[in-house]
Homo-oligomer: A and B are copies of this chain.
Amino acid sequence: MKISVQRQDFDAGAEIRALSRDPKVGAVASFVGVVREVAMMLEHYPGMTEREIGRIVEEAGTRWKVMDCTVIHRHGELKPTDQIVLVAVASAHRGDAFAACEFIMDYLKTRAPFWKKERTALGARWVEARASDDAAAERWQPRIAEPKKVG
């Protein structure tokens, strides 16, 4: 497992390649988030960020057969078309790899302490958290079972 919070860019291909060195790996699902249209500054909480991502990845490992995983999240100044985040998950089969990768992204969006400040033409403004991201993370929650009636 590799978790890195860094200023510099990353090479998704090299990271994916590194995850497929184990001959038991048959599938690597990955996601790259990219800056759209507006430049931004990404602030984070050093220390907690890595810990939180580690917990998210660990949680994914309890739900799916994850053989290895790499998460890289950039911080600092980013401009349109810059890569922001990479989540890559290696598994024997593609179903596990896809599900774990999407799960990690959804949770990263709602739990990892990063904040985006957009540099718009009208000035800088902090991006507001989106309800759709909460909803995306929410769908992975186990439904709480109805309490059993004691007769």
The answer to whether B136 touches A20, judged by C-beta atoms less than 8 angstroms apart, is no
With A and B bound together, what is the CA distance between A14 and B83 in angstroms? 12
A70 interfacial contact with B, CB 8 Å: no
Interface size class of A (residues with CB under 8 A): 35 or more
Instruction: Using known A-B contacts A12-B13, A13-B14, A20-B83, determine if residue A34 contacts B27 with beta carbons closer than 8 Å.
Output: yes
Residues in B neighbouring A15, C-beta threshold 8 A: 13
The answer to whether A81 touches B21, judged by C-beta atoms less than 8 angstroms apart, is yes
With A and B bound together, what is the CA distance between A105 and B149 in angstroms? 45
Query: Among residues 33 to 66 in chain A, which have CB atoms less than 8 Å away from a CB atom of chain B?
Result: 33-37
Interface string of A6-44 (1 = CB under 8 A from B): 000001111111001111111111111111110000000
When C-beta atoms are compared, the residue in chain B nearest to A20 turns out to be B34
Residues in B neighbouring A28, C-beta threshold 8 A: 31-32, 34
Residues in B neighbouring A32, C-beta threshold 8 A: 16, 20, 27-28, 30
The answer to whether B20 touches A81, judged by C-beta atoms less than 8 angstroms apart, is yes
